[in-house]
Amino acid sequence: MDILLWIVVVALFVLSIAGIFLPVLPDTILLWVGFLLYHFFIADPGAGLPSSFWWGMVALSMLLYGADLLTNMYFVKKYGGSKWSSVAAVVGILAGIFLFPPFGMIILPFVFVVLVELLIQNQTLERAVKAGFGSLIGFLGSAVVKVVLQVAMIIWFFIAR
């Protein structure tokens, strides 16, 4: 039975990494299900994961949730976008997740940023597209950050168990 449970735990970890690129998969939740499955069903009673592991996972999970929003805002600003464009990028990510998964969270922030820069900020098309490009760089940057964080969480899990 333990072998089957371990297969499920490893599959959850693999799916969590896939969730970075397929937003319909709840990446952080899949990691947590794997951790909890191990803690309550595989580990010896009373010998599960230490509290330091759980606190660390809470902190890293918050970073995972913030990675998309913060990196997108940063890169839109870096590529010349306004504060309104940073907000538009966040709205685009959130709308994209629900309206057009999995590619909506890449396309909608770009479109929203370009529209805000053109229509509200009265920027040139070139400058608006440059700010929109910042949202694409932000998405790729957040994907890299999320891969690193999730791999660190998985390694920590195997060390802590």
Q: What is the DSSP string of 7-57?
A: HHHHHHHHHHHHHHH-TTS-HHHHHHHHHHHIIIIISPTT-S--HHHHHHH
In a domain, 36, yes or no: no
- Indicate the pLDDT class of residue 75, thresholds 50, 70 and 90: confident
- In this prediction, residues 70-99 reach a mean pLDDT of 85
Instruction: Provide the residue range defining the domain that includes 76.
Output: 49-160
pLDDT tens digit sequence for 125-144: 999 999 999 888 988 888 89
Is the per-residue pLDDT at 72 higher than 80?
no
% of the chain with per-residue pLDDT over 70: 99
Q: Give dist(CA 92, CA 140) in Å, integer.
A: 15
Q: Do 150 and 34 contact (CB within 8 A), yes or no?
A: no
Question: ∠ CA 94-16-9 to the nearest 5 degrees?
Answer: 145
Query: Is there a domain that residue 154 lies in?
Result: yes
Question: Is there a contact between 134 and 126 (Cβ–Cβ < 8 Å)?
Answer: no
Does some domain include residue 142?
A: yes
Coil, strand or helix at 90 = helix
Nearby residues of 14 by Cβ (< 8 Å), 6 or more positions away: none
Mean pLDDT of 25-38: 94
Does the residue 5 lie in any domain?
no
Which pLDDT value is given to residue 52? 96
Residues 6+ apart with CB under 8 A from 86: 72, 73, 76, 77
- Across residues 39-52, what is the average pLDDT? 90
* 69 or 35, which is more confident: 35
Instruction: Look at residue 121 and tell me if it is in a domain.
Output: yes
pLDDT band at 74 (very low <50, low <70, confident <90, very high): confident
| Percent of the chain with pLDDT strictly greater than 90 | 53
Q: What is the model's pLDDT at position 98? A: 83
pTM attached to this predicted model:
0.78
**Total domains in the fold of the chain:** 1
pLDDT of 68 reads 72
